[in-house]
Homo-oligomer: A and B are copies of this chain.
Amino acid sequence: MRRLARYLPILSWGRQYTRGALQNDMMAAVIVTIMLIPQSLAYAMLAGLPPEAGIYASILPIILYAIFGTSQALAVGPVAVVSLMTAAAVGQIAQAGTAGYVAAALTLALLSGLFLLMLGLLRLGFIANFLSHPVIAGFITASGILIATSQIKHVLGVSAGGATLPEMLISLFQHLGQVNLITVVLGVGATGFLYWVRKGLKPALKKLGLSDGVATIATRAGPVAAVVATTLAVWGFGLDARGVNIVGSVPQSLPPLTMPDLSPELLRQLLVPAILISIIGFVESVSVAQTLAAKRRQRIDPNQELIGLGMANIGAGFTGGYPVTGGFARSVVNFDAGAETPAAGAFTAIGLALAAVALTPLVYYLPTATLAATIIVAVLSLVDFSILRHAWAYSRADFAAVAGTILLTLIFGVETGVSAGVVLSILLHLYHTSRPHIAEVGLVPGTQHFRNIRRHDVHTDPELLTMRVDESLYFANARFLEDKILDRVTGDEAIRHVVLMFPAVNAVDLSALETLEALNARLDDMGVKLHFSEVKGPVMDRLRRSHLLDHLTGQVFLSQWDAVEALTPAVCLNGSGQPVRGADH
């Protein structure tokens, strides 16, 4: 039973479900449902899918996540970045608007769900950690720009295309002649209105004396107001006959049972995109879930989250949806509205199912320009160039990772961008650790402390060279250490002993071990003994399992003071003369 509860968190919270929690969850569900209707239609459009796909993708996935997920407040469904990635992946295989396109999106959801489920069952959630913050931040900013740019065509009423920023801009430019002015008025008007709602409405309402809670709800209702107003305008003035694109008829139906296309060729083509979508979606979802959980001193289990998201995506694949994940905006609304358990999600699913059956005729006259406006205003909050400034101030390598990911994503598209970003940040990390800080140290007079001879006035002896290594040793940096020491010793005939101080060496891999053995032999050829000091317990345990200590010409000292006392005792008798600085360095 406890084992089962691990994989079915609903068994834990479901048994303690109270009437108070039920009321809070239902209230939250009503608020989230109203917010999700236009959002679902908009993200489906962004993904190149018919509008109902967005609503279907929010129904069964939410229920499955409520059963298998661990976050109490996460709201699962279509999100902007995953919708863009879906469009990029499926767009390479089929033309938007065709049955093949819709079928491929189902397959993508299924594959993504199976991959997430596999990671979760194998407890491989840590894989997502290889997506560094600079790569995520750069990717999200670039995706926001790509998404906003992709929606400009709807605001202008033109039929431009393209998957990368240069392609989209060129295509928009080529289609400028088709611009529909009424669409522009509606689209730009809606964008301006929504932007004002987001930035200016809440302070204005609070000035009018409304409470913070009411002002927040009014602000969140902005997109619904824009939808209602522009729909009425199109219907009232018959603008659809004057070239304004509208959503049109949406089937009045519960989510259909769909069977994803499982042809091997399609699976092969969608495998890599599905993996990328899974990992990006998981990272976004987990970071939202962790933020919300910490506010209530709760914990989420990342591996169980993988299972929850995996089931949600599998559900999306079989019910006319497309890849989903835990969204930031909807989860925060859910949390703020007081959702206490995943049951709030289930109630939201019921609300959306009712909407799918009853309300879809109402969006017939909704202009796509309004949906584009809601997307543009929503994703502009993703665009954050301040990360570039922070990264530059903090470290050049991190800056390179952010800037590289942004540029690669904009120029080559989402898949290349995020893959190259991961490779870039791994290479930068390896490069950084491949040139470790290695300081020549001497004794601070009157103490037992050893410090860098370049920064401090310290005692040394010409026969003894002590180098402090400030990095774990592994294949990429071991030879750097060897070169540094051999260069130093070759030029200085006086040296008889080399001590490597290892207080910050947390690991020595086999390559580094062999390099240390080679260094020992080469120093021996020069008549110089090699010693170690302050080697950590786990590193020493490992060295004992090798032959290094058998062949070591020198000794291993517990402390550097012991080493100096044993090798060049004169240095320890300080006060007896002038400090001797390390030769010509």
**CA A347 – CA B150 in complex, angstroms?**
69
Are B297 and A472 interface neighbours, CB within 8 A?
A: no
Binds B, one of A235-243, A259-267, A475-483: A475-483
Q: Which residues of B contact A430 (CB under 8 A)?
A: 130, 426
Residue of B nearest to A522 (CB): B294
Tell me if A364 is interfacial: C-beta within 8 Å of chain B. Answer: no
Are B132 and A526 interface neighbours, CB within 8 A?
A: no
Are A434 and B129 interface neighbours, CB within 8 A?
A: yes
Chain A interface category by residue count: 35 or more
Given contacts A472-B472, A522-B294, A525-B294, contact A437 B538 (CB under 8 A): yes
**CA A323 – CA B397 in complex, angstroms?**
36
* Chain B: minimal CB distance from A93 (Å): 27
- A542 partner, pick from B394, B436, B513, beta carbons under 8 A: B394
**CA A135 – CA B474 in complex, angstroms?**
13
Residue of B nearest to A528 (CB): B297
Q: Which residues of B contact A391 (CB under 8 A)?
A: 510
- A487 partner, pick from B299, B390, B425, B478, beta carbons under 8 A: B299
Are B434 and A511 interface neighbours, CB within 8 A?
A: no
Are A480 and B126 interface neighbours, CB within 8 A?
A: yes
- A433 partner, pick from B472, B478, B518, B525, beta carbons under 8 A: B472
Binds B, one of A76-84, A197-205, A326-334, A501-509: A501-509
**CA A509 – CA B437 in complex, angstroms?**
15
Are B522 and A480 interface neighbours, CB within 8 A?
A: no
**CA A518 – CA B286 in complex, angstroms?**
13
* Chain B: minimal CB distance from A405 (Å): 12
Residue of B nearest to A546 (CB): B394
Residue-wise, chain A 402-431 has the 8 Å CB interface mask toward B (1 for contact) of: 000000000000000000000001100110
Given contacts A391-B510, A393-B545, A475-B133, contact A294 B504 (CB under 8 A): no
Residue of B nearest to A475 (CB): B132
Given contacts A129-B479, A132-B475, A476-B130, contact A394 B490 (CB under 8 A): no
* Chain B: minimal CB distance from A484 (Å): 12
Q: Which residues of B contact A513 (CB under 8 A)?
A: 394
Residue-wise, chain A 428-456 has the 8 Å CB interface mask toward B (1 for contact) of: 01101111110000000000000000000
Given contacts A430-B130, A475-B130, contact A504 B507 (CB under 8 A): no
Q: Which residues of B contact A476 (CB under 8 A)?
A: 129-130, 132, 429
* Chain B: minimal CB distance from A572 (Å): 22
Are A486 and B299 interface neighbours, CB within 8 A?
A: yes
Are A509 and B472 interface neighbours, CB within 8 A?
A: no
Tell me if A134 is interfacial: C-beta within 8 Å of chain B. Answer: yes
- Which 4 pairs of residues, A with B, have the shortest CB-CB distance? A132-B475, A294-B522, A398-B510, A133-B511
Given contacts A126-B435, A135-B475, 4 further A-B contacts (CB under 8 A): A132-B510, A294-B525, A437-B538, A470-B538
7 contacts between A and B (CB under 8 A): A126-B480, A129-B476, A134-B511, A297-B526, A393-B545, A395-B509, A398-B510
